[in-house]
Amino acid sequence: MFRKFYPKEYYTSTYKIDFQEYYDRGFRGILFDIDNTLVPHDAPADSSAIALMKQLKDIGFKICLVSNNKEPRVAKFNEKLQVEYIFKAGKPLKKGYLRAMETLGTNIDNTMFVGDQLFTDLWGANATGIYSILVMPINKKEEIQIVLKRIPEKLILFFYKRKHKLVR
């Protein structure tokens, strides 16, 4: 029942993921959520996010931010990153993920998604057929609608953790 929300892997932080390992496995595109995945909610791109995007580009990845936020937020966040982006993506619907892959020229077999929410990020990535990675939220301070979603997420993660381990 909960499997449609389960990530392929679960990390403590986006910044703990060994992306070179995924490139070596054949992944060429990475789709990222922004808020609480790369930076705290509503924060600008920081030195860690900027350094990560540079590292990923140097490895050879194509990158796209996939956000349900409006364009001003996503465009401003992307100014220092200079990657592709999709705003008002409609996650968990497939359309944003499909548009991102089309923009990058990648497909479901060589694209991965990194996000912090089960009911938007991971559900949509899984429904689209993309390799999904869940990360713990950077900051506990979130908007009320996200706080409310975290309650049933805890139940799903309880069952997930019984069979899977947190990678790092």
The mean pLDDT of 87-107, rounded to a whole number, is 97
Which domain covers residue 12, as residue numbers?
A: 3-163
Residue 90: inside a domain: yes
Tokens matching residue 153: 């997420």
Is a pLDDT exceeding 70 seen at residue 98? yes
Cα 116 to Cα 136: distance, rounded to the nearest angstrom: 6
Domain contains 168: no
Number of folded domains that form the chain: 1
In the predicted model, is pLDDT for residue 153 greater than 90? no
pLDDT recorded at residue 61: 98
> In terms of DSSP bridges, do strands 62-66 and 9-11 run parallel, antiparallel, or are they unpaired?
unpaired
pLDDT over threshold 90, residue 140:
no
Helix/strand/coil for 93: coil
Give the ranges where the chain is alpha helix by DSSP (H). 19-24, 47-59, 71-78, 94-104, 123-128, 144-163
Could you give the CA distance from residue 41 to residue 19 in angstroms, rounded to a whole number?
A: 23
Share of the chain above pLDDT 70, in %: 93
Mean pLDDT computed over 129-152:
81
Q: What is the CATH number of the domain that holds 84?
A: 3.40.50.1000
